[in-house]
């Protein structure tokens, strides 16, 4: 699968000297193009960024804001779910039914959706009608 292959390939370039935990992510825009990202850690730990955030940033910088598919891979015993911040970032550009494939190098997979990862999400409807 091209999306998962892209995530697996970019994972090898992750910069994770502190956790030792490399993650690769790939997202497909509405154009069909694939954008990848890896985690980039920092000695000031909170300044590190997640693989998903990198892939989303590349998609937006390339001119796309509609996300139709996501894949994330790590070398773990089970598929690693995106952190809370990444769930919100994915929800910004995808839909509730947008497929998310979580995978391990060993071949385990978990197919889910953005809606399952972030039910009751904060979205633009909450920004209006409060006054
Ligand atoms: O879905 C995930 C989960 C974790 N990480 C990164 C953040 C940090 O660099 C390392 C350990 O948490 O893994 C990601 O990039 N994506
Ligand atoms: Zn994250």
pLDDT at 45: 98
Asked if 45 and 21 count as a contact pair (C-beta separation under 8 A), the reply is: no
Query: Is 38 assigned to a binding site?
Result: no
pLDDT confidence of residue 131: 58
Question: In this model, does residue 84 exceed pLDDT 90?
Answer: yes
d(CA 87, CA 69): 13
Name the residues around ion ligand 2, CB cutoff 5 A: 50, 83, 86
91 known ligand binder: no
pTM of the model: 0.94
Between the CA of 86 and the centroid of ligand 2 the distance, in Å, is: 4
| Number of domains into which the chain is organized | 1
Is residue 3 lining ligand 1, measured as CB closer than 6 Å? no
Assess whether the C-beta atom of 48 lies below 6 angstroms from ligand 1: yes
Residue 127 lies in a domain: no
Q: Is the CB of 42 under 6 A from ligand 1?
A: no
pLDDT at 89 over 90: yes
Task: With a cut of 90, say whether residue 125 has pLDDT above it.
Answer: no
The pair of structure tokens assigned to 90 is: 């994915």
32 assigned to some structural domain: yes
The CA distances from residue 10 to 31, 70, 92, in Å, are: 21, 14, 23
Looking at residue 95, which CATH number applies to its domain?
3.40.140.10
Residue 44 annotated as binding?
yes
Give the integer Cα–Cα distance in Å for 118 and 37: 21
Q: How far is the CA of 49 from the centre of ligand 2 (A)?
A: 7
What local confidence, expressed as pLDDT, does residue 130 receive?
Answer: 58
CA–centroid distance, residue 64 to ligand 1 (Å): 24
Res 122: pLDDT: 87
The response to whether residue 59 sits with its C-beta less than 6 Å from ligand 1 reads no
Residue 56 covered by a domain: yes
Domain hosting 85: range is 2-119
pLDDT at position 48 is 98
Domain-located, residue 128 = no
Integer Rg of the chain from CA: 15
- Strands in 99-104's sheet, in edge-to-edge order, are 34-38, 23-29, 67-74, 99-104, 109-113
Answer yes or no: is pLDDT of 96 > 90: yes
Structure tokens at 27: 């997202």
């Amino acid at each position: 699968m091209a999306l998962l292959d892209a995530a697996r390939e970019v994972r090898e370039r992750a910069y994770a000297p502190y956790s030792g935990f490399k993650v690769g992510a790939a997202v497909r825009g509405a154009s069909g193009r694939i954008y990848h990202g890896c985690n980039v850690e920092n000695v000031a730990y909170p300044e590190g960024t997640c693989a998903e955030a990198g892939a989303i940033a590349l998609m937006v910088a390339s001119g796309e804001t509609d996300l139709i598919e996501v894949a994330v891979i790590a070398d773990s015993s089970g598929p690693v779910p995106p952190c809370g911040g990444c769930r919100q970032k994915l929800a910004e550009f995808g839909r509730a039914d947008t497929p998310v494939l979580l995978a391990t190098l060993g071949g385990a997979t978990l197919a889910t959706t953005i809606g399952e990862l972030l039910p009751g999400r904060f979205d633009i409807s909450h920004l209006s009608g409060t006054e």
